[in-house]
Amino acid sequence: MTHTKTLAATALLVLLGASFSAQAYDADWKRGRVYYRSVCTACHTAAPIGAINPSIKTKAEWSTYMALDMHAKGKDSVSKYVSKEYRASIKASNKAAAKFADTPDKELLDDIRAFLQKGAKDGDSPATCS
């Protein structure tokens, strides 16, 4: 009897784990690259800061930067520039913002994280903004 209950409990845990893993989002670094290059780089190039290449930081540095969610030396948040509201405000002049207008904020932020990790100084494929 105890063995049957243990098997049933194990089966239930496996099914619950499978359902949670099925809901996990697998970030798309290519989509992150498109947004980063079209939106982030476009703004930084126009500003006096200049382009911010992903390869200027290590994976750990990008992870910290994204986790802190601080942009412009803490004056803004990174998530602000990935939000649907921000994309809606620039979609008339930015094709990438229009293309990803309905993408959930968290997914797009995860995509950008994936691109930054891949393109970091110590990433799989250090990237520039060209």
Return the higher-pLDDT residue of 5 and 126: 126
Judge if pTM exceeds 0.85: no
Residue 46 has pLDDT above 80, yes or no: no
Closest CA to 113 of 50, 68, 47: 68
Query: In the chain, pLDDT over 90 holds for what percent of residues?
Result: 57
Q: Which helix (H) or strand (E) holds 34?
A: helix 29-35
Find the mean pLDDT for residues 63-91. 93
Residue 96 has pLDDT above 80, yes or no: yes
Residue 24 has pLDDT above 90, yes or no: no
Return the higher-pLDDT residue of 72 and 33: 33
Per-residue model confidence (pLDDT) at position 129:
57
CA distance 44 to 19: 41
Query: In the chain, pLDDT over 70 holds for what percent of residues?
Result: 79
Average pLDDT, whole number, for the chain? 82
Collect all residues with Cβ–Cβ distance below 8 Å to 62 and sequence separation of at least 6: 54, 113, 116, 117, 120
Per-residue model confidence (pLDDT) at position 12:
44
Return the higher-pLDDT residue of 25 and 35: 35
Find the mean pLDDT for residues 66-79. 90
